[in-house]
A = this chain, B = another copy of it.
């Protein structure tokens, strides 16, 4: 069953409804298949997120084959959404993403967004920076940029009338082995995407006073 027509109308949702209505959904209608075309469009919009030096270190392994979702199930500690959702997106970070710098900055030149010499000097600068950067610093960027794109992905999905749940609990090593993911990638999270069968549970948030401070940190 395709839901592309209903999702079209959902694209006109107001921004704050999308923010309010996004909730982690753990129960999906297994009959609903999101088309690859729609998944690709969702990813295209998600990747409009910013990233450090615009290096876009995110990679996505989209698992929509029923056999592979079954293989993923025990890796994700048998959370049923893995098989019931239309797809599970493994969000990865590429630790060698600096290798894409030349491609990205050439595209900026081709699009007329940047003069060629600016692009060249930026690629040289970033390549130099990354070659002397501790791996820990690269990991940090990749995890943070992975968070940025994942949030936008979940919001885009909601705006299209779908639901998601981010999963931080799974066997990372097993995931890497079973899906033959090279060590150059670090797993960031799994995101199940589909049509909700049951709404997500409401959750609480700390008051802003507990997490935000003006001009100085609170005394320890």
Q: What is A's interface to B at a CB cutoff of 8 Å?
A: 11-20, 22, 24, 36, 40, 43-45, 47-50, 52-54, 56, 58-65, 68, 100, 103-104, 107-108, 111, 113, 139-141, 143-152, 154-156, 159, 166, 168-169, 179-182, 185-186, 188-189, 201-206, 208, 210-217, 220
Contacts and interface: CB of A to CB of B under 8 A. Distances in A.
Nearest to A155: B155
A206 B47 contact: yes
Given A143-B143, A211-B58, A214-B62, A12 B11 contact: no
Q: Which of A15, A104, A205, A208 has most chain B Cβ within 10 Å?
A: A15
Nearest to A100: B206
Given A206-B100, A208-B40, A113 B201 contact: yes
Nearest to A41: B208
Nearest to A23: B50
A56 to B, nearest CB: 5
B48 A215 contact: no
Contacts of A210: 100, 103
Nearest to A20: B48
Nearest to A150: B148
Given A12-B15, A139-B143, A143-B144, 12 more contacts: A15-B15, A15-B159, A19-B45, A19-B48, A40-B208, A43-B211, A56-B206, A58-B211, A61-B212, A108-B204, A140-B186, A147-B147
A159 to B, nearest CB: 4
B47 A208 contact: yes
B212 A40 contact: yes
B208 A61 contact: no
A52 B24 CA distance: 11
B211 A60 contact: yes
12 contacts: A15-B159, A19-B152, A19-B156, A20-B48, A48-B205, A56-B206, A103-B206, A113-B202, A113-B204, A143-B147, A148-B166, A151-B152
A182 B49 contact: no
Contact of A180 (B113, B145, B217): B217
